[in-house]
Amino acid sequence: MTGVVYLVGAGPGDPGLLTVRARELLESADVVLTDKLVPPGILDDVPGEVVDVGKIGGGTQVPQDETNRLLLEHARAGRTVVRLKGGDPFVFGRGGEEAQVLREAGIPFEIVPGVTAGVAAPAYAGIPVTQRGLAAGVAFVTGHEDPAKGETQIDWPPLAAFPGTLVFYMGVRALPRIAERLVAGGRSPDEPVVIVERGTLAGQRSVSGTLATIAERASAAAVRAPSVTIVGPVAALGDELAWLDAARPLSGRTVAVTRARAQASALAGRLRALGAEVVEAPAIAIEPLAVTVPDLAGYDLLCVTSPNGAGRLLEEVRDARALAGPVIAAIGPGTARALRAGGIEPDVVPERAIAESLVEALAGVPVRRALIARAEEARDVLPGALRERGAEVDVLALYRTVAAPLDDAARAAVDGADYVTFTSASSVRNVLAAGATLQGPRLVSIGPVTSAELDAHGLRGDVEATEHTPDGLVSALVADAAVSAA
């Protein structure tokens, strides 16, 4: 039985620009043959086999014939295959060639367009590739032709005379030749030019100049691939229409996330959306414990002390109606949100997500018998305070946190980051136990308990969230980045 191949565009780099259709196909594919230039993180949870068939200019190459062979092999085996390409598969992506191979072999295929870098990178730099009065058209041109082949498919004089914007893909090393041929063809040496490096990705930057100066400026700035070059009057609009720095206040910053992998993706996604380059270095893992939830009818108070605890409790009870009897207290806003996601509205939620604040919030709540749903190892502030009030307290350990090892590359990435985020005391302990020094980055803590753990190891927490949630942590980090950039 023959399978099907989807030639899918992954977009220019920002994971948010991946299409809904592309995401659906990645989630259902048996095999993904991927290029190098795909959005970071989108392949982390892909259930199928992922095969890297990418090419890097001047680096490792997977021959196109080998990619074609793999497409046919997997499709003939009846598999659903996604051929994932950076940008759009039909814009300098060799998608047309691969479609021809599939058609000749009788393999069914579908084309899934993606956002191409030639439009997206200029847009992220504030440059419209067309603009009334400035450019009525746009031409996409490869800048990657091999100068040793002795001939070119580009007719330079007509291209130079084209009355619109020119966008060159993959042309960093060829910039001197491109500028020279455009000027020789009649373009003004003073025509504006902008190179956008890592367009739509964290660390995007632009280098501006003219046809006469851009090659020298790009060399001085050490511009590297992936980059696109925009030639034409619209390039001068970049300064006027720049929006990225205001919308992406963490642009150019590297942030290490040490949360458990299952929880890290949401935090990492939020940071990436703010422009950060995210290093995912999970130092802890959540290990569920086998438990039997007691009959809650015998309790007048149920305390849930973490989002993980909320999730595990809801998994075990299955039916939220089982929690209808006691007063339900969440340790903070993040835990409250996790309970609400399962259909439970907590009765008590202190603003600060620490046990001391929950003890204060419960001061006026009558308690005879309480159940505390928490991690296996946790501070005894809450059960101790309730027992001092005369309550009978049972602890239900729903999960434990265990150390997740960090390899050499992860340790180096953590120590080389601008910021390292910690959402628990155990993440601090485990990162240090894994060999990271934490001497260079600014250290960001989700709250006072985590900050105290940093202090206990002789480390100074640079930033502490006011609201002890991942959103609060992000807000505090953004505020600190703004101060340091001023």
Task: Look up residue 28 and give its two tokens.
Answer: 């259902």
371 vs 61, 300, 346, CA distance in Å?
Answer: 59, 8, 14
The answer to whether 45 touches 154, Cβ cutoff 8 Å, is no
Q: Which of these is catalytic: 35, 88, 418, 462?
A: 35
What secondary structure does DSSP assign to 113-152, as a single string? ----HHHHHHHHTT--S-BTTTBS-EEEEES---GGGS--
DSSP three-state, residue 237: helix
User: Quick one: angle between helices 307-317 and 333-341, nearest 10?
Assistant: 20
For the beta carbon of residue 351, count every other beta carbon within 10 angstroms: 11
**d(Cα 238, Cα 134) in Å, to the nearest integer?**
14
Q: Look up 55 and say whether it is catalytic.
A: yes
What are φ and ψ of residue 371, in 5° steps?
-120, 130
Task: Look up residue 281 and give its two tokens.
Answer: 């270095």
The answer to whether 2 touches 106, Cβ cutoff 8 Å, is yes
Strand-pairing partners, residue 141, are 168
Minimal CA–CA distance to 399: which of 322, 294, 284? 284
Length of the chain: 486
Q: Which of these is catalytic: 30, 36, 55, 347?
A: 55
The answer to whether 382 touches 332, Cβ cutoff 8 Å, is no
What are φ and ψ of residue 465, in 5° steps?
-65, 140
**d(Cα 104, Cα 270) in Å, to the nearest integer?**
44
Task: Look up residue 262 and give its two tokens.
Answer: 């299952």
Maximum pairwise Cα distance, the chain: 90
Q: Which of these is catalytic: 88, 170, 418, 462?
A: 170
Q: Look up 1 and say whether it is catalytic.
A: no
Sheet arrangement for strand 80-85 = 49-52, 31-34, 80-85, 4-9, 109-112
Residues annotated as part of the active site: 35, 55, 170
